[in-house]
Amino acid sequence: MAADGGRAVLPCSFSAKSQQFLALCAQDGRLRIWNTDSKTLQQEYVPSAHLSAACTCVTWGPCRAVQEVPQRKRRKCEAGSAPERSDLLALGTAAGSVLIYSTVKGDLHCTLEGGHSGPVNSVQWHPEDSVLYSGSDDTHIAEWDLQTGKVRCKWKADRSAVSSLCISPDGKLLLSAGMTIKMWNLETKEVYRKFTGHSTMVTTLCFATTRPPDSNGMYFLSGAAHDRLLSVWQVRSDGKDKNSVVSFTLTDEPQHIDLQTSNSKDEAVRLAVVCKDGQLHLFEHFLNGPCKKPLSPVCSLQVSTVKGDSPVPVPLLAAALCADRQNLMLAYGHHLQPVMEKTPFNTSERHVCLIRDVHGTLSLSVDTAVSKVKTPVVNKQSKVLVPGLPGHKAPIKLTPNEAEKRKKTDSTTEISIEERLEQIELSVEGRAAGKGSSSLQTDSFAVLLVQGLESNDERILTKIFQTKKEMLIKNTVARLPPPAVLPLLEELSRRLQGHPFAALLIVQWFKAVLTQHTSYLSSLPDLVSQLGSIYHMIESRVKLYQQLTRLHGKLYLLMTQVATNNSAVKVGNISHKAHLVYEEESSDEEEGSGDEGRPEDDSDNWEEDEAAMEVTEDKKNHKDEEDDEEEDMNDESKANGDSDLDPENESEEE
């Protein structure tokens, strides 16, 4: 039983029981059915709306007898086919319709439309009746009648999109998952149980046992997006089943699940899980109650191939457990051309690495009668000359002097590569010199570019890519032949990864190639792989440029703050102590100094002021002398014992 791997993963599924067929849906909506026995492409179907409504999920129907299908003319190789085989295949589309494809007829059996208004995320077949269930983004579950092709019943299952569905082995219960897991009774269309425990959208549901729910022995698995655990839930009769009982640890989000159910407690459940990282994990456990610790896989398997001296991992697309319980059916490699292998496994080894030569085993065998590729009829006697091809000789413009010399010497030899390189160098200097120089035409420039690409000559290519003239680049690229466009893009992408200064010139060449050869590039089938690396490189550089500009602004702000802090520290360290102190001797000099700054008066006034100043000085000197004499007399009277308090004596003495 294959579970849906989510929208991000390409839908793929092995046929039930025998694993004879592998159904793969590509990104362009094509359905390819591979035969696992012959390792060849059995059928390919392209829906009419494969570009607008891509396939979102694939599920094989139960095996049925071939006689039920209307008979058609069969080839001899199909005469001995088994009476029962996996015939019908249900495809859910992004447009909301369900396509039923028949491998016996090699065409659509019927189309189920009008049931959903959003993309179909999961499709499940009823094990017994001709009934189909589908879940969609419109939060509804639709029950389809395959005989009439119409909706039998439709009900709302969740508030969010219904991402996965699973029907119990007895066909009485239906599991639906969005943000929560609900178990529905298909007779009454009512909720039987609810299970919560995943923080993201549930993408995988699968019943693990065939026991009825009343016996406390019904278990189912669930996996969610971006979750590295597979949870096991027990459906109990008492309703106490809110938490998961067992969990299996994975290395990445589960992509494809296949298991062999348990019919009793003594029989272990065997589980094969393919993760999104391309590894396969095998589990074996007895479901008889809760287990506290997460269980690790008993065996992990990985496929790798050798490129040079180092091994390169090969992603696994799907895996199925064979009925003999000893072998595994693996599908690995690319979805356009997968490699299918049936290999035995040994659980005694914890880690197994299968080394395979993937490129040597790839062989896509398609009948030539079915091929629609038409090869044009070409006349062998005719020869087509395209401008720019190495066989085309372009004329070179010569100066009159050189033309006369060429006429004198009848030489028909072709110009060598060294001479052409010299002409490239001289073409830049020729206009400045004005004499004795010749320029190369764009046609011969294109021939030189083709020769450099074919011979991988770094010197020639470097000289050509150093051209800065936009018109010369445009004309050169326009004259390139179509087979040289892809090698030119590869060389430009390789040089773009080098020094950033070289990108200034390489971008001009990129622009010219994309504008001149748009029609040719759009016709390439592997255009995404050719231009994907260039697009991611340019996008990463643009993102890095924004981060660098932000970092430059922050660093500039920090440097300016450090500079201002350093200048403030220098200003604060200035000493406030004076290096030289000048003190004046007296206040008279200060008064005299005050007169020095005044404006000069007339000479007469100055003489009068000077005479007045002399008179005042004489008076002051005379008064000072009198005061000195009085002090001397007082001292003498004290020495003779006279009292200063007797005014009469003073008057007499005077």
Q: Could you tell me if 253 and 130 lie in one domain?
A: yes
Domain residues for 477? 442-552
Out of 331, 356, 381, a domain closes at: 356
Q: Which of 234-243, 341-350, 398-407, 554-563 has the lowest mean pLDDT?
A: 398-407
In a domain, 525, yes or no: yes
Least confident residue range of 528-532, 623-627, 642-646: 642-646
| Predicted pLDDT of residue 631 | 60
- pLDDT mean over 158-169: 91
| Over residues 277-297, mean pLDDT | 89
Give me the percent of the chain exceeding a pLDDT of 90.
Answer: 20
Cβ distance 644 to 637 under 8 Å?
Answer: yes
Tokens representing residue 18 in the block: 């025998």
25 with 120, same domain: the answer is yes
Half-sphere exposure of 326 (CA within 13 A, CB side): 1
- Lowest-confidence region among 195-209, 269-283, 594-608, 639-653: 639-653
- Is there a single domain that holds both residue 349 and residue 449? no
Contact call for residues 286 and 297 (beta carbons, < 8 A): no
- To which H or E segment does residue 379 belong? none
Q: Are 548 and 530 in contact (CB under 8 A)?
A: no
Residue 418 inside a domain? The answer is: no
Higher pLDDT pick, 287 / 528: 287
- Residue 548, pLDDT above cutoff 50: yes
What's the pLDDT band for 296 if we cut at 50, 70, 90? very high
Query: 593 vs 283, which has greater pLDDT?
Result: 283
Residue-wise pLDDT tens digits, 420-436: 766 666 655 554 444 44
Identify the three-state secondary structure at position 606: helix
268 belongs to a structural domain? yes
Residue 508 has pLDDT above 60, yes or no: yes
pLDDT over 90 (residue 616): no
More confident residue, 425 or 203: 203
Among 504, 526, 552, where does a domain finish? 552
pLDDT greater than 50 at residue 387: no
Q: Has residue 73 been placed in a domain? A: no
Q: Are 229 and 247 in contact (CB under 8 A)?
A: yes
Same domain for 497 and 350: no
178 & 288 share domain: yes
517 vs 65, more confident: 517
* Residue-wise pLDDT tens digits, 569-580: 766 666 667 778
Q: Do 179 and 42 have their domain in common?
A: yes
pLDDT in tens, 346-380: 778 888 888 888 776 654 444 433 444 444 555 55
Neighbours of 450 (CB within 10 A): 21
Q: Average pLDDT for residues 294-305, to the nearest whole number? A: 91
Amino acid 261: pLDDT: 84
- CATH of residue 250: 2.130.10.10
pLDDT in tens, 142-152: 999 988 889 99
Mean predicted confidence (pLDDT) in 26-31: 79
Q: What is the band of 517 on the pLDDT scale with cuts at 50, 70, 90? A: confident
* DSSP H/E element including 432: helix 417-433
Residue 388 scores a pLDDT above 50: no
Mean pLDDT of all residues in 243-265:
88
Does the structure show a pLDDT above 60 at 382?
no
How many helices, marked H, and strands, marked E, lie in the chain? 13, 31
Hey, which of 166-175, 418-427, 438-447 has the most confident mean pLDDT? 166-175
Lowest-pLDDT range of 33-37, 43-47, 604-608: 604-608
Does a structural domain hold residue 369? no
- In a shared domain, residues 348 and 475: no
Whose tokens are 């002090």? That residue is 631
The pLDDT value given to residue 615: 59
Q: What is the mean pLDDT of residues 223-238?
A: 88
Q: Which of 156, 163, 155 is nearest to 180 (CA)?
A: 163
Q: What is residue 645's predicted lDDT score, i.e. its pLDDT?
A: 45
Using one digit for the tens of pLDDT, what is the confidence trace for 442-495? 457 788 888 888 888 888 888 888 888 888 888 888 888 888 888 888 888 888
Domain boundary among 314, 340, 356: 356
Q: Higher pLDDT residue, 132 or 83?
A: 132
Q: What is the pLDDT of residue 448?
A: 85
Clarify whether residues 345 and 451 are in a common domain: no
Rounded to the nearest 5°, which phi and psi values hold at 425? -70, -40
Does residue 618 form part of some domain?
A: no
Residue 301 has pLDDT above 80, yes or no: yes
Predicted pLDDT of residue 649: 46
Lowest-confidence segment of 92-96, 207-211, 218-222, 380-384 by average pLDDT: 380-384
pLDDT score, position 380: 55
d(CA 406, CA 585): 106
Same domain (yes/no): 452, 304: no
Number of structural domains, the chain?
2
pLDDT in tens, 72-123: 545 544 444 445 667 789 999 888 999 999 988 888 888 999 889 999 999 9
Q: Could you tell me if 347 and 455 lie in one domain?
A: no
Q: Do residue 343 and residue 480 come from a single domain? A: no
Q: Please answer whether residues 265 and 219 qualify as being in contact, where contact means their C-beta atoms are separated by less than 8 angstroms.
A: no
Among 40-49, 329-338, 371-380, where is mean pLDDT lowest?
371-380
Residue 648 has pLDDT above 60, yes or no: no
111-122, pLDDT tens digit by residue? 999 889 999 999
Is the separation of the CB atoms in 99 and 78 below 8 Å? no
In a domain, 424, yes or no: no
- Whether 194 and 311 map to the same domain: the answer is yes
Sign of CA dihedral 589, 591, 595, 596: positive
Would you state the pLDDT for residue 581?
Answer: 80
State yes or no: pLDDT of 259 exceeds 50.
yes
Beta strands in 190-279 (DSSP E): 190-195, 202-207, 218-224, 229-235, 246-249, 254-260, 269-275
Residue 602 lies in a domain: no
- Per-residue confidence (pLDDT) for residue 466, from 0 to 100: 84
Task: Report d(CA 626, CA 632) in Å as an integer.
Answer: 10
Q: For 332-338, what is the mean pLDDT?
A: 85
Specify the residue for token string 């890519």. 465
pLDDT band at 7 (very low <50, low <70, confident <90, very high): very low
The rounded mean pLDDT for the chain is 76
Q: Contact 558/550 with Cβ under 8 angstroms?
A: no
